[in-house]
Amino acid sequence: MLFSTFLNSLPIGYVNVVPLVYLAEIGYNPYAIGTIYSASAIAATIGMIPCGLLADRYGKKKLLIVGTFLPVVSYAIFGLTLDPSLLMVASFIGGVGFAGGLAAAIITPPLIPMVADSTSDHKRSTFFGVLQGAWALALAIGAALSFLPSLLSSWFAQSERSAHFESYFIMSAVAAASMVPLLFVQERRNGSGSKASLGSNSALSRLQQGEKHHPRRVPVTCWFRIAQFSMVFAFTGFGLGVLVQLVPTWLTLRYGASETTIGFWMAMSNLATIVSTPLIPRLVGRRGAMPTAVATGIVGALVLALMPFTDFQTAAALFVIRSVPVGVYWAVLESYMMSAVNENERATLVGFTYTAWGIGASLGTLIGGALLGAGFLTLPFVAAVISYLVSSAALRLFFRKVKPLEEVTRFSMPRIGE
């Protein structure tokens, strides 16, 4: 799963830089660019809940393979046309932008629970950090490949447009290769492994008393907790959409930077995320999962707030620094969330929370693109910082007295599910 995630994320790192800069350079309005990328978030929003329910009910591996294939089509469309309507279709299908489109809607609900099932409760946060590290390394390499169009143009005497098209076909081939490792993954069915990290509740009691061989019959019992996590994810998604997704476009508009230069800094920001991996067990072990997520979310927002008041080099460096707390935040939050419900409900939880994230991201990308198109280069930062701070505050408010099972031995507060 790690190797597949790595290969599948390489093109994501590439298209999170090159089209955002190239389309702006050839005259696309930033609002049009934002609209193209928002289609990805809209697709993820529509598909996440149904895919989460399907994964819990019928199994996860098949969905994982299907979702991994869809970006192959998406990148091929980018390699064929500059028509904005067709680019929106490609974005909707998947692989374009952080939201990932329909592909991410299919992949995310099965992937996160399968990763959680692959390790013990005590090592879960660290393992999510490793997954985050593999994803970040792939994004870094993909972003660093932003020189590829220039290389193809100089080596093969191609036009700039043809070189960009060829590069997208290369990304399509890489995405196709990412399906191969999944063929060797063996899915552990719900109820066949370790018990869920829950306190006593009716669903888990039924599971332990004889329904563990029939996980499809166990109902979802944590709707209120799902709603709480969804609110946290919605504000986080809006912050990403209104600014972070459009940072390459912002750097081009504000400083006139080229795609190769921006690609280098985006690669550095993703590499910096890997630094967060060894920090995760120390921070979680010392402070606990929820306080760690809240603190790193706030730190990331405050660093982001400094960017519009600096020169290009400093702004880019701040974006790199921000990646460290953000890497910790996402790994710990996803691990913490997996301890909130029993195994039979994990994909459903992911489906609902990432749907909320997709709604926030799609709305944010539309608003961010409109603001940049109107020349308001600072307002997206204001909106993003406020959104991230509200998300962290909501996480603290909802879960300040709730701890996962692995922390019960170290802390005296009630554990999740009690």
Closest CA to 137 of 273, 325, 322: 273
| pLDDT of the residue at 153 | 85
The closest of 100, 113, 106, 102 to 62, measured between CA atoms, is 106
- H or E stretch at 352: helix 346-373
Q: Which domains does the chain have, with CATH numbers?
A: 2-178+222-407 (1.20.1250.20)
Alpha-carbon span 14 to 352, nearest angstrom: 28
pLDDT for the residue 283: 87
For residues 389-417, b (16+ Cβ closer than 10 Å) or e, as one string?
bbbbebbbebbeebbbbbbbeeeeeebbb
* Prediction pTM value: 0.73
Enumerate residues 6+ apart whose C-beta is below 8 A from 59: 187, 189
Distance of CA 265 to the CA centre of its chain: 19
Whole-angstrom Cα distance, residue 374 to residue 25?
Answer: 17
123 backbone dihedrals φ, ψ, rounded to 5°: -105, 5
**Encoding tokens for residue 384?**
């993003």
User: Tokens 């991410």 label which residue?
Assistant: 104
Q: Are 304 and 385 in contact (CB under 8 A)?
A: yes
Question: Cα angle at 84 between 34 and 71, to 5 degrees?
Answer: 80
User: Closest Cα to residue 404, out of 231, 277, 288?
Assistant: 288
Q: Would you state the pLDDT for residue 25?
A: 82
The full DSSP string for 69-104 is HHHHHHHHHHTT---HHHHHHHHHHSSSSTT-HHHH
CA end-to-end span of the chain, whole Å?
Answer: 32
- Residue 37, class by beta-carbon neighbours within 10 Å (0-12 exposed, 13-18 middle, 19+ buried)? buried
Specify the DSSP element, H or E, that contains 300.
helix 289-306
pLDDT of residue 193: 41
> What local confidence, expressed as pLDDT, does residue 176 receive?
93
Tokens representing residue 176 in the block: 């196709």
The answer for residues whose C-beta is within 8 angstroms of residue 79's C-beta and 6 or more apart is: 165, 166, 167, 168, 169, 172
Q: Are 95 and 11 in contact (CB under 8 A)?
A: yes
DSSP-derived 3-state class of residue 212: coil
Ordered per-residue pLDDT tens for the chain, 418 residues: 889 989 998 998 898 888 888 888 888 888 888 888 888 878 878 888 888 878 777 778 888 888 899 999 999 999 998 888 999 999 898 867 777 888 888 888 888 888 888 877 777 777 888 887 888 888 889 888 888 888 888 888 788 888 889 999 999 999 999 999 988 887 765 544 444 443 333 333 333 333 343 344 344 557 788 889 999 999 999 999 899 988 988 998 999 888 788 888 988 988 888 888 888 888 888 888 889 999 999 999 999 999 999 999 999 999 999 999 998 999 889 888 887 777 777 778 888 898 898 889 889 988 998 999 899 999 999 999 999 999 999 999 998 877 766 665 554 444 444 4
Distance in angstroms (rounded) separating the CA atoms of residues 345 and 207:
12
Q: How far apart are CA 339 and CA 49, in angstroms?
A: 19
The pLDDT score that the predictor gives to residue 200 is 33
What span, in angstroms and rounded, lies between the C-alpha atoms of 289 and 334? 10
* Phi, psi angle pair for 403, to nearest 5°: -130, 145
Separation between Cα atoms, residue 73 and residue 149, nearest integer Å = 20
92, 117, 120: which is closest to 106 by C-alpha?
A: 92
Nearest to 241 by CA among 95, 406, 155, 359: 359
CA atoms of 372 and 246, how far apart (whole Å): 9
Q: Residue 190 — left, alpha, or beta (φ > 0 → left; ψ -120 to 50 → alpha)?
A: beta
pLDDT at 377: 93
- Please name which of 52, 56, 59 lies closest in space to residue 106, comparing C-alpha atoms: 52
Alpha-carbon distance of 319 to 316, in angstroms, equals: 5
